[in-house]
Amino acid sequence: MSYVVGLTGGIASGKTTVANLFNQHFGIDVIDADIIARQVVEKGSKGLESISSRFGPNILLSDGTLNRAKLRDIVFTCEENKTWLNGLLHPMIREKMKVDIAKASSQYVLLVVPLLVENNLQNLTDRVLVVDVDEQTQLQRTMERDKVNLGQAQSIIAAQASRAEKLAIADDVIKNNAKNKELLPQITELHKKYLELSMRNRSE
Ligand code: ATP
């Protein structure tokens, strides 16, 4: 079983940027919760079948894929539907993560989970790495990348676990306030540490 480093952080903190650097420089396999969340409801999946039998065929677009905007509206306006959907998808996502972890071939894997803290997925990981940014930088990067205004960016951030809550479960922290070039030295140090930890883990 691979050694699993959970990588988390708030919106636009730099998780994807960091994960790509681990992959490009050190060949580390990356498992992305956002991609898995889409796979479990792709066309032909059991997840999509369950959703369309509960909400009717109108929840599908004409090409048979999920109408995400419609589903978002449905769960946004009804707590019971939201609970039902989470009850369906969360176990599927967790199972798929386990399968992908088992398939990984690098010495350790990065499991990128934006809502690791909120969804309590730490128990799938051996260690948690938090990408941390100050709120000003986070707001700016969110507004620029997602073309949202200050109020929208603030409310997205407010709906997530706080910076302090994330840092409280961190074993390691990457600071991503400054420029990209300051990331690689931090990543290189962590990579060395994770190689050692994963080797120790194997021999135990
Ligand atoms: P989300 O979970 O919201 O998808 P994320 O945590 O994966 O976001 P990224 O997509 O890696 O974050 O980064 C968010 C934005 O900030 C991107 O546009 C990225 O190019 C930019 N960014 C990340 N790190 C830096 C940095 N060190 N310097 C400049 N820009 C950065």
pLDDT per position as a tens digit, 85-110:
999 999 999 999 999 999 999 999 99
163/97 same-domain check: no
Last residue of a domain, one of 80, 105, 130: 105
List the end-to-end C-alpha distance of the chain, in Å, as a whole number: 12
Q: Which residues make Cβ contacts (< 8 Å) with residue 99, sequence separation at least 6?
A: none
**How far is Cα 162 from Cα 44, in angstroms, rounded to an integer?**
37
Residues 91, 166 within the same domain: no
DSSP labels, 57-102: GGGB-TTSSB-HHHHHHHHHH-HHHHHHHHHHHHHHHHHHHHHHHH
Domain that holds residue 147: 1-28+106-204
Are 71 and 112 members of one domain? no
Residues 130 and 196 in one domain: yes
Domain shared by 170 and 185, yes or no: yes
Assess whether 85 and 127 both reside in one domain: no
CA dihedral 175, 24, 129, 191 (to 10 degrees): -100
- Domain match, 100 and 197 both: no
Q: Helix (H, G, I), strand (E, B), or coil: what is residue 198?
A: helix
Domain containing 2 — which CATH number? 3.40.50.300
* Ligand 1 mutation target, pool 111, 141, 174, 181, most atoms within 8 A of CB: 141
Is the pLDDT confidence value at 202 over 90? Answer: no
Task: Say yes or no: CB of residue 176 within 6 Å of ligand 1.
Answer: yes
| Residue reference for tokens 């539907």 | 81
Domain count, the chain: 2
* Single residue among 105, 139, 164 that ends a domain in this structure: 105
Evaluate if pTM is beyond 0.85: yes
pLDDT at residue 157 is higher than 80: yes
Does residue 8 line the site of ligand 1, with CB under 6 A? no
Instruction: Please give the pLDDT value at position 94.
Output: 95
Q: Is 38 a pocket residue for ligand 1 (Cβ < 6 Å)?
A: no
Report CA-CA distances (Å) from 87 to 47, 68, 81, 135: 11, 17, 10, 32
Report how far residue 55's alpha carbon sits from residue 67's, in angstroms, rounded to the nearest whole number: 11
Instruction: Tell me which of 61, 79, 105 is where a domain ends.
Output: 105
Residue of minimum CA distance from atom 22 in ligand 1: 14
- Claim to verify: residue 64 and residue 2 sit in the same structural domain: no
Indicate if 93 and 112 belong to the same structural domain. no
Are both 15 and 110 inside the same structural domain?
A: yes
The reply to whether 101 and 114 lie within a common domain is no
Residues 87 and 122 in one domain: no
Q: From the CA of 72, how far away is ligand 1's center (Å)?
A: 24
Give the separation between CA 173 and CA 130, rounded to whole angstroms. 5
Task: Give yes or no for residue 141 CB within 6 A of ligand 1.
Answer: yes
Residue 86: predicted pLDDT: 94
Mean pLDDT, rounded, for 161-173: 94
Tokens 């707001």 sit on residue: 139
Partners of 110 in the beta sheet? Answer: 5, 30
